[in-house]
Structure 1
């Protein structure tokens, strides 16, 4: 590894850039330019005062937009946060247009440069919201701001030569600061574009009735992986890296990582299997061990299951593939539930069965098209035992609560029709001459 540029070359590039900065400062200190600088500062002050007056009203107005989608509300908040810069940009361009009509363009050159820089800063601030990662967004935003200012002030060429002189040679690949920054910019822009395309395709897929929820998730994931991979590969090509050697190196590294990350790889593969075999999909109601809930999302490594009490369990994909899972809505949404009870031998079983069926039908969640049934299961010691079977189609609404509602309906119906629910009773008789008394006599005589 050796440096591609000598220290003298680096010093020369830095000196050239600094001389251009000094020239810009000296030009700004000219009397004709100081007037324009003062006008820019006055516009900044006016924009600040206007923003302080308008911002509270804008926030109140945004709070009343209850029916707006989230993206509009976010856009409104972004406008509120950058209201000073927006007002300054609008006023600066207005001043430039008026002055160019009544005087020479050089009299408004500084104001025009300030307006151009403000416009670029605004555009970068809004476009950077497309980057999901906050750290990457902050880095990309500041880097774009610096480059935009240098470009608009005509300093980008000298700055590029300075960054290009800071270079290292690794084999046949030359890596300079300029090349690395360009590659990061390309990768960030492509990833942001890939994210936009994936979000748009996902929305379109969600509106398609021809694809199952599982296939929608699978297509979206495959598209996201493909676009992100292309973004990284194009970025690496932008810095002149040979991807052939990288493929061999990544293959060797992948084998080593595979042994250390067997569980992670297993979960990733299991996730693909789940998407392909359609065993579970978003919205399904499942039971896995003591966890009962509905699937909220399918991830690359885990499945998000939300329970009735609001807890969200992140279950590894491997557990869904290797363990026994009860999918209450795999082929259809119908679920049959059983309620066991007992009545006295004095009550007519035919009457009890009819009353129990009618009582179950009074519960809203019990399906009327699948009529409940009630059967005798056993003649017990103290009661006749029955099982009441009924169907529901909304297991995500809970099972315990609908059983409780049916039991309450049975209680009310039995009370209204004088049907008794017995409890075990035992009868104890004490005889006049018991074996215990004979044994006491025998022991006393001994």
Structure 2
């Protein structure tokens, strides 16, 4: 049987790789960019270009001196503005940090204007490029400050700086061709470095815009007193989903990605996640139901099992409940839907508390009731606008049993402490009026040994 022996070596493999159309295109575009860069750098050593470079250095030094002289005075002036709003002070702080760049842009364009009047435009061509770059970079710095995320802000800022620099220098189209040549094709979709950079910048800008709009909308909704707290949370969550969803959709469409295939894929993934994440989906749906029926809202005092506290925040998956001892419980939304929840402040803030106590039989029950009611109403948090009552509930073995009922309007202040204060007030009032609080008593008698033996059936002689 004849065998085919491959005699190609490493050099032949490298030669085949170098002959691929993609690599040849990449090398050709890169060579063109290097040639243009060499031509530009070579033109810098002409006489008038050297003069312009010297003017740029002089302008930069002057801008630095102005920053050193005027910077402290501007900062002192800013410190004297006590009643200015916070957003205005932030703008002033940003301007103060960029004083050198601002002075440089102003001085360089003033120089360009003067030179265009006294000499030919070609004598200030390099100055115009540098002035345009400085102004564009400064504008990008101010615009990207609207992005709160430092990571996204850095990506968008560097991407925008690179874009405007290439565009002003006339290298944008060759750079796009170079980045687009470094890629591969999957079916009808082509992935390249150009698409990656475009996606990072476009999605970063859209997400930053969505976050800015969401933050401003949420601030306006929270300040609207006509909307209940639960509806505020629901509206804010809906606005966040709408803005971020729109940012993702338009960002993907701007990149030219077909969403038809993603729709089918997302449907299949959704079915799988529906079985695997039933609890998560149940909590999400329960959270929407809680917000719609307004059964609980931030600030309500609830008790669920042994947990008693007030609602700090309503989340998409859980409810944050803070107790009196500072513990924060994250209760799943499903438990609040399926379990029995006591909302102490659902329709109003009024809460009635009961206290049980007993007095001796020789104490007048009519006087005991009056003294107990007066003692309870003397406590600060007990409401006098709602009636405090005291009733006899039974005749016990050693005491007459009473129940004392009173109202409070601030359950967030705690229930155990107000009960303790009322008990102390009852104690002081009973001490002043000679009313006794009985307690069980037992009498123990010790028998002599002979009597014990007789009772047990023994003989005293034994």
TM-score normalised by length of structure 1: 0.85
Q: In structure 1, which of residues 398, 416, 421 is the aligned counterpart of residue 414 of structure 2?
A: 398
Q: State the Cα deviation string for residues 302-353 of structure 1 (Å, max 9, x = none).
A: 2222333444333222222233222222222222222333334343322222
The answer to whether the aligner puts 1:194 opposite 2:210 as a matched pair is yes
Specify the alignment match of 1:330 in structure 2.
346
The answer to whether the aligner puts 1:217 opposite 2:230 as a matched pair is no
Q: State the Cα deviation string for residues 29-72 of structure 1 (Å, max 9, x = none).
A: 33333343344344444545555666667777767767665544
The answer to whether the aligner puts 1:166 opposite 2:171 as a matched pair is no
Unaligned runs of 5+ in 1: none
The answer to whether the aligner puts 1:389 opposite 2:366 as a matched pair is no
The answer to whether the aligner puts 1:14 opposite 2:34 as a matched pair is no
Unaligned runs of 5+ in 2: 1-19
Q: State the Cα deviation string for residues 236-279 of structure 1 (Å, max 9, x = none).
A: 22232221121011111222233333332222222222222222
The answer to whether the aligner puts 1:307 opposite 2:323 as a matched pair is yes
Shift, 1:182, TM fit = 2.5
Task: Give distance in 1, aligned partners of 2:366 and 2:346.
Answer: 36
What is the root-mean-square deviation in Å for CA atoms of aligned residues?
3.3
Where relative contact order (Cα < 8 A, 6+ residues apart) is larger, the structure is 1
Shift, 1:90, TM fit = 4.2
Work out whether residues 182 and 238 of structure 1, in 8 Å CA contact, stay in contact via their aligned partners in 2.
Answer: no
Q: State the Cα deviation string for residues 216-245 of structure 1 (Å, max 9, x = none).
A: 222222222122222222222223222112
Work out whether residues 49 and 126 of structure 2, in 8 Å CA contact, stay in contact via their aligned partners in 1.
Answer: yes
Question: Which has the larger displacement, 249-258 or 425-434?
Answer: 425-434
Distance 1:122 1:412, change over 3 A: farther
Question: Which has the larger displacement, 235-244 or 198-207?
Answer: 198-207
3-state SS of paired residue (1:283): coil
Distance 1:440 1:255, change over 3 A: closer
The answer to whether the aligner puts 1:247 opposite 2:263 as a matched pair is yes
3-state SS of paired residue (2:231): helix
The answer to whether the aligner puts 1:204 opposite 2:202 as a matched pair is no
Work out whether residues 43 and 91 of structure 1, in 8 Å CA contact, stay in contact via their aligned partners in 2.
Answer: yes
Task: Give distance in 2, aligned partners of 1:142 and 1:382.
Answer: 85
Task: Give distance in 2, aligned partners of 1:294 and 1:94.
Answer: 63
Distance 1:67 1:383, change over 3 A: farther
Specify the alignment match of 1:230 in structure 2.
246
Q: State the Cα deviation string for residues 54-93 of structure 1 (Å, max 9, x = none).
A: 6667777767767665544544554454444344444444
Distance 1:8 1:265, change over 3 A: same
3-state SS of paired residue (2:312): strand
Specify the alignment match of 1:350 in structure 2.
366
Distance 1:370 1:136, change over 3 A: same
Give the number of the structure whose alpha-carbon radius of gyration is greater.
2
The answer to whether the aligner puts 1:442 opposite 2:450 as a matched pair is no
Work out whether residues 372 and 390 of structure 2, in 8 Å CA contact, stay in contact via their aligned partners in 1.
Answer: yes
How many residue pairs match? The answer is 443
3-state SS of paired residue (1:272): helix
The answer to whether the aligner puts 1:293 opposite 2:300 as a matched pair is no
Question: Which has the larger displacement, 275-284 or 308-317?
Answer: 308-317
Distance 1:72 1:162, change over 3 A: same
Question: Which has the larger displacement, 232-241 or 416-425?
Answer: 416-425
TM-score normalised by length of structure 2: 0.83
Distance 1:56 1:394, change over 3 A: farther
Distance 1:244 1:363, change over 3 A: same
Shift, 1:163, TM fit = 1.7
Work out whether residues 5 and 167 of structure 1, in 8 Å CA contact, stay in contact via their aligned partners in 2.
Answer: no
Question: Which has the larger displacement, 217-226 or 341-350?
Answer: 341-350
Task: Give distance in 1, aligned partners of 2:82 and 2:362.
Answer: 62
Task: Give distance in 2, aligned partners of 1:381 and 1:59.
Answer: 81
Task: Give distance in 2, aligned partners of 1:411 and 1:11.
Answer: 95
Task: Give distance in 2, aligned partners of 1:123 and 1:20.
Answer: 27
